[in-house]
């Protein structure tokens, strides 16, 4: 049995009235800068006005959940895209931060009843991160996906 529309956007979305917060960690800035740029580019393609895109930063990925909550409070945005990049090192730090941040971002959207887009890359190598940010050839910029997702999640459930 075939499922219709699997993997396709089910309708066109016009984000002209959507207010988006982008909150990014400052670690791995080559990757982060590309992801933020990709998200903004896609938001504009969905007609989100530049004045409706608020960009803030936090020191690292661990601060993304709290910063996300504050973005909603401070800026009155409809959706937040927290963007971070964790790259595995030689200690358990990677696993602890990935789990804590992922869990809290998921819980936060239910607590606030607002969409929080999962913009956290969890990579085993720097090369994987650069690929997913579209810095190296071979993959597209995942920030673009997050921008499109933000507009859809706001407008679909309004």
Domain ranges across the chain: 20-156
CATH architecture of 20-156: 3-Layer(aba) Sandwich (3.40)
- Whether 93 is catalytic: yes
Selected catalytic residue, list 24, 75, 93, 142:
93
- Beta carbons of 36 and 121 less than 8 angstroms apart: no
Quote the pTM value.
0.92
Render each residue's pLDDT in the chain as its tens digit; 158 residues: 444 554 566 568 999 999 999 999 999 999 999 999 999 999 999 999 999 999 999 999 999 999 999 999 999 999 999 999 999 988 888 899 999 999 999 999 999 999 999 999 999 999 999 999 999 988 899 999 999 999 999 999 88
């Amino acid at each position: 049995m075939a499922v219709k529309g699997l993997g396709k956007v089910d309708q066109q979305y016009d984000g002209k009235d959507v207010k988006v917060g982008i909150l990014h960690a400052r670690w791995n800035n080559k990757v982060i800068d590309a992801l933020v740029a990709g998200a903004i580019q896609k938001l504009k393609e969905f007609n989100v006005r530049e004045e409706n895109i608020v960009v803030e930063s936090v020191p690292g990925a661990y601060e993304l959940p709290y910063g996300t909550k504050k973005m909603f409070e401070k800026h009155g945005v409809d959706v937040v895209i927290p963007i971070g990049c964790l790259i595995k090192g030689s200690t358990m730090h990677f696993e602890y931060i990935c789990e804590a941040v992922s869990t809290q971002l998921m819980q936060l959207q239910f607590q606030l009843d607002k969409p929080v887009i999962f913009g956290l890359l969890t990579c085993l190598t720097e090369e994987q991160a650069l690929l997913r940010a579209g810095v190296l050839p071979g993959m597209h910029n995942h920030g673009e996906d997050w921008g499109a997702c933000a507009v859809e999640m706001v407008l679909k459930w309004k």
